[in-house]
Amino acid sequence: MKIAILGTGHGGKAAAADMTLAGHTVNLFESPEFKENLAPIREKGGIQLSGVGRTGFAQLNAVTSNIVEALDGVELVVAVVPAFGHKPLARLCGPHLKEGQTIVLNPGSTLGSLEFLATLREMGVKTRISIGDLHTLTYATRGEGADVRIMLEVRKLWLAAFPATETAGVLGKFRQLYPIVEAGKNILDVGLNNGNPMAHPGPALLNAGRVEYSGGEFYHYKEGITPHVANIVQAIDEERMALCRALGYPAMPTTERMFLMGYAVTKSSYYEAYTTSPVFCGENPIKGPHSVMDRYYVEDTTYGCVTWSSLGKQIGVRTPTIDAVIHLISVLHGKDYFAQGERTLDRFGLGGLSVEQLNAYFETGRMEVRP
């Protein structure tokens, strides 16, 4: 299949190389403001992939900061960018999307597809495309320049389209790349299975002094998730599962999900799940956050915790631990993340909807207006 990978972070480069080696035709795109990331790949003529799964040198079809070239003739567009990149990326792509193209946000964070579509709508784009959110990134991966190493090909992925009536179609395309992907109920369900709002802001907050004092010489999972800090992760996870139950979605503990995905080798406790993970704490433990302004604090609060908290308020589920983390990170940064509300239901005009109305909206994309 001819695909475009948008984004040249670790995940984007890993996907571009892996899908090329899997036999697909891959255009790798980075937006003009970060186009220096493309230089080492162009210089080397491709990406050298190591680690688990397929390895070898991958010669890409195109390496470009021209969105027209990137999207030309592709069937599937995979956006591998942080949540704060969804809106700018939609602005870049909007005028150049072709009827019938499929976009997968890898990952969707929380409600990424809604934001992407809202941005296209604001721009007046009428092209009919399909779009879906993946619950997490397809790989655990790190790299430098044109060299990328995959530590884990994620073994279980959930995807849903917006509206969910289009999930089967998007899934059919995406499974040609990743056969292990399964359907989530809708993008809200998928976003509630994103592990980062549990694993990042709480523990990062409880290590903020260390992160700042050490100048980023810090290993989040290895040093940061201690037995007592893991209690915070568990409390956030319990609030998240309460949201899932109230919405009628499966409420799978994060430890169980990490085990199914391949991140964890045990699900005996939150502490053990993270700290015995070969991906997080093995030979090459994950380093960072690099500062108290890192995405561990900003992205996963803005695009995860705040959304979950606002959802809880709307449907009557208490989220005191999530709220306390948001408040203290707001104080830490001197910003009000609650008030910013980048991905709250209100932001998408869904404030005040009941559980039934929300589920109907995410299923069909249509808002029932009741008299």
User: Quick one: which segment of 104-112, 175-183, 254-262, 326-334 binds its own copies (CB under 8 A)?
Assistant: 326-334
Tokens representing residue 235 in the block: 């409390």
| Beta carbon nearer to its own copies, 60 or 292 | 292
Q: Which of 229, 273, 306, 358 binds its own copies (CB under 8 A)?
A: 229
Sheet holding 102-105, edge to edge: 62-64, 25-29, 2-6, 76-79, 102-105, 130-134, 157-161, 181-183
**Residue 75 binding its own copies, by CB under 8 A:** no
**Residue 281 binding its own copies, by CB under 8 A:** no
3-state secondary structure of 230: helix
**Least Cβ distance, residue 218 to its own copies (angstroms):** 9
| Beta carbon nearer to its own copies, 42 or 318 | 318
| Distances 223 to 99, 280, 363 between C-alpha atoms, Å | 48, 11, 41
Angstrom distance (rounded) from CA 350 to CA 365: 11
Contacts of 347 (CB under 8 A, 6+ apart): 341
Helix-then-strand count for the chain, H and E: 19, 12
Interface size with its own copies, residues (CB under 8 A): 31
Tokens representing residue 338 in the block: 């609650």
**Residue 223 binding its own copies, by CB under 8 A:** yes
Give the DSSP H/E element, type plus range, for residue 231.
helix 229-247
CB 196 within 8 A of CB 300: yes
| Beta carbon nearer to its own copies, 55 or 231 | 231
**Least Cβ distance, residue 327 to its own copies (angstroms):** 4
**Least Cβ distance, residue 197 to its own copies (angstroms):** 15
Q: Which of 25, 61, 226, 276 binds its own copies (CB under 8 A)?
A: 226
Q: Which of 111, 281, 292, 311 binds its own copies (CB under 8 A)?
A: 292
**Residue 39 binding its own copies, by CB under 8 A:** no
Residues 178-207 vs its own copies: string with x where CB under 8 A? -------------------------x-xxx
Picking from 329, 289, 334, the residue whose alpha carbon sits closest to that of residue 309 is: 329
**Least Cβ distance, residue 368 to its own copies (angstroms):** 36
Q: At what angle do helices 306-315 and 320-333 cross, to 10 degrees?
A: 140
Work out the number of other CB atoms within 10 angstroms of the CB of residue 367.
12
**Residue 323 binding its own copies, by CB under 8 A:** yes
Q: Which of 83, 325, 350, 358 binds its own copies (CB under 8 A)?
A: 325
Q: Which of 242, 260, 315, 332 binds its own copies (CB under 8 A)?
A: 332
3-state secondary structure of 307: helix
| Beta carbon nearer to its own copies, 69 or 272 | 272
User: Quick one: which segment of 22-30, 36-44, 119-127, 325-333 binds its own copies (CB under 8 A)?
Assistant: 325-333
CB 157 within 8 A of CB 75: no
**Residue 336 binding its own copies, by CB under 8 A:** no
Residues that bind its own copies (CB under 8 A): 203, 205-210, 212-213, 223-229, 231-232, 235, 292, 320-321, 323-325, 327-328, 331-334
